[in-house]
Amino acid sequence: MSSQTKYIFVTGGVSSSLGKGIVAASLAKLLQAQGYKTTIQKLDPYINVDPGTLNPYEHGECYVTNDGAETDLDLGHYERFLNVPTSQANNITTGRIYQSVISKERQGMYLGKTVQVIPHITDEIKENIKFLGSNGEFDIIITEIGGTVGDIESLPYIEALRQLKWEMGEDNLIVIHLTLIPYLSAAKELKTKPTQHSVKTLMESGVQADILVCRTEHELNDEIKEKLARFCNVNVDCVIESVDVNTIYDVPNHMYRECLDKVALKKLKLDYNEPDLGSWNNFLDKYKNPKDTIKIALIGKYVELQDSYKSILESFIHAGAVNEVDVDVIPLHSEFINSENVHDKLQSFNGILVAPGFGERGVEGKIEAIKYVRLNNIPFFGICYGMQMAVIEYARNMLKLDDANSTEVNPNTKNPVIDLMEEQKNITEKGGTMRLGAWKCDITRETLCHSVYKTENIEERHRHRYELNNKYLNQLEENGLVASGKNKDTNLVEVVEVKDHPWFIGVQYHPEYKSTVLSPHPLFVSFVSAAILNKNK
């Protein structure tokens, strides 16, 4: 639409966890819905090269893109909102920036210069930011800077932003600053001072915010908006209220009502067209008016934090809307499930999902849960580690291989039904070395999996080191486990299912990374509909 790719930066002030990613994704949605080709990029100021090595407790789920990048979970929101895949280029970390600069230094590429934060680190950041806009694929790129202004670690990013704003000009780059307007219940007042200070902190680095998006529990009246405008050097129509909402999927409509897209486009000297949110609102309508509720247990080991299984929870929202039910997902800690309590713990659920995971903690509880749902005809969905646990359970109880296990859990087991992939055996480095990203999979006809996907060729995203050990495949299949999806090139089993069970599927890949509002994942949709059937039987 425009010849030059324009940039919208989103910075955060006052507090972390204000939802910069959701505001960025919502604005992108509004721009996309009026015909602008839009993408989002996340700059993470931590020193890890990527979040692949981070425990989910630290930074939430690690999201995986088609090209195999292990990225920040915000990229999941971008894909779910925009229905457009992201890639490695959409996520930059300080670790990646320094890794690249240091490797260039070792190659002598700086020609004897002293390598410094300015200009070398900031140039590297700028190059990475501009790379996404370099081939003219996008009209608008929204760039979210992680963290909060004033953090020492985000300084190089703010400095890169200052330089870019100067170089590109104010028609081509604008800054949205997301802040919090706290409500003091004792004084019964909304307070603007923290926002004034954080806008000032940004200005100390030479960056003037163009638009303020103000997170608040109460509506902002005109007086407060005018006060913010006056103290923060912005037009009053550029003070946007972002009041708390029940679901993140409401945020695009809120931002639309507050005209965030309109003021942003005006500043960028781009035309405003009425956004078409028809299919988005159809989804919202179904999501908010469920005809029934089903209960799903999510069995894993990171159950205390919402963000650890973000994509799975969101996939259930998408699939629930298709089925017009509310999916009540209840996390259960597998460490506390055993043969004595499994019935009590699981009997009230309409379906069970065993989550991805690593390491030995809680695996026996997962296996116990899978045995229970297999024998009691409760719909079962196993993802990655959950699929591997299903294979172990089957081997132990149907093949009578009592010590069947994964070598990840017991390296000395006599029956390693799940074993390290051949190409993983000599790898010692942890970061970015798993089998990652999109891989092809062939689905066998006349299987449950085929009836779900309705195609023989799929591509799904992976993140694992272990696999079903093909030495046991014949034995497993003779006893009723069906390998219904395989990668032809590597011969890896990607999907298993149990014959004569209403719905029992384990997948080596992560379908949750591909479910979006406009394209809910068929496996989640089908699993939810099986859980409804189970409830009503």
- Supply the residues annotated as catalytic: 384, 510, 512
In the region spanning residues 285 to 344, those forming contacts with ligand GLN, defined by CB under 6 A, are none
**E strands along 133-266, which residues?**
140-145, 173-180, 183-184, 189-190, 211-216, 239-243
The smaller minimum CB distance to ligand GLN, of residues 357 and 437, is found at: 357
In the region spanning residues 139 to 178, those forming contacts with ligand GLN, defined by CB under 6 A, are none
Q: What character string, x for contact with ligand GLN (CB under 6 A) and - otherwise, covers 436-475?
A: ---------------------------xxxx---------
Query: Minimum distance between the CB of residue 233 and ligand GLN, rounded to whole angstroms?
Result: 47
CB 354 within 8 A of CB 299: yes
Report the alpha-carbon distance of residue 346 to residue 336 in Å, rounded: 12
The smaller minimum CB distance to ligand GLN, of residues 258 and 314, is found at: 314
Secondary structure letter of residue 220 according to DSSP:
P
Query: Minimum distance between the CB of residue 501 and ligand GLN, rounded to whole angstroms?
Result: 22
Question: Segment near ligand GLN (CB under 6 A), from 336-344, 351-359, 442-450, 485-493?
Answer: 351-359
Report the alpha-carbon distance of residue 373 to residue 15 in Å, rounded: 43
432 near ligand GLN, judged by CB under 6 A:
no
Query: Minimum distance between the CB of residue 418 and ligand GLN, rounded to whole angstroms?
Result: 7
Q: In this structure, what token pair is assigned to residue 347?
A: 């009997």
The smaller minimum CB distance to ligand GLN, of residues 370 and 384, is found at: 384
Query: Minimum distance between the CB of residue 398 and ligand GLN, rounded to whole angstroms?
Result: 22
The smaller minimum CB distance to ligand GLN, of residues 215 and 463, is found at: 463
Query: Minimum distance between the CB of residue 82 and ligand GLN, rounded to whole angstroms?
Result: 25
In the region spanning residues 107 to 136, those forming contacts with ligand GLN, defined by CB under 6 A, are none
- Listed in sequence order, the residues at least 6 apart from 55 whose beta carbon sits closer than 8 Å to its beta carbon are none
Query: Minimum distance between the CB of residue 64 and ligand GLN, rounded to whole angstroms?
Result: 9
* Three-state SS at 66: coil
Instruction: Report the chain's terminal Cα–Cα distance, integer Å.
Output: 53
Helix, strand, coil % (nearest 5) of the chain? Answer: 40, 20, 35
How many residues at the interface with ligand GLN, by CB under 6 A?
A: 10
In the region spanning residues 370 to 389, those forming contacts with ligand GLN, defined by CB under 6 A, are 384-385
In the region spanning residues 389 to 428, those forming contacts with ligand GLN, defined by CB under 6 A, are 408
The smaller minimum CB distance to ligand GLN, of residues 356 and 379, is found at: 356
The smaller minimum CB distance to ligand GLN, of residues 264 and 370, is found at: 370
Secondary structure letter of residue 92 according to DSSP:
E
In the region spanning residues 474 to 513, those forming contacts with ligand GLN, defined by CB under 6 A, are none
CB 280 within 8 A of CB 269: no
Report the alpha-carbon distance of residue 525 to residue 515 in Å, rounded: 10
Query: Minimum distance between the CB of residue 464 and ligand GLN, rounded to whole angstroms?
Result: 3
Nearest alpha-carbon partner for 535 in 326, 360, 223, 259:
326
In the region spanning residues 352 to 371, those forming contacts with ligand GLN, defined by CB under 6 A, are 356-358
Report the alpha-carbon distance of residue 425 to residue 407 in Å, rounded: 12
The smaller minimum CB distance to ligand GLN, of residues 251 and 384, is found at: 384
Report the alpha-carbon distance of residue 229 to residue 219 in Å, rounded: 16
The smaller minimum CB distance to ligand GLN, of residues 64 and 239, is found at: 64
- How large is the angle between the packed helices 20-32 and 260-267, nearest 10 degrees? 70
| Beta strands across the sheet bearing 466-468 | 405-406, 416-420, 466-468
Q: Which residue type does 7 have?
A: Y
Nearest alpha-carbon partner for 71 in 44, 111, 98, 105:
44
What Cα–Cα distance (Å) separates residue 31 from each residue in 255, 265, 409, 479?
A: 11, 9, 48, 53
| Beta strands across the sheet bearing 239-243 | 91-93, 38-44, 140-145, 6-12, 173-180, 211-216, 239-243
The smaller minimum CB distance to ligand GLN, of residues 201 and 405, is found at: 405
Cis peptide before 119 (omega within 30 of 0): yes
Query: Minimum distance between the CB of residue 408 and ligand GLN, rounded to whole angstroms?
Result: 5
Query: Minimum distance between the CB of residue 465 and ligand GLN, rounded to whole angstroms?
Result: 4
Query: Could you tell me how many residues make up the chain?
Result: 537
Site of interaction with ligand GLN (CB under 6 A): 356-358, 384-385, 408, 463-466
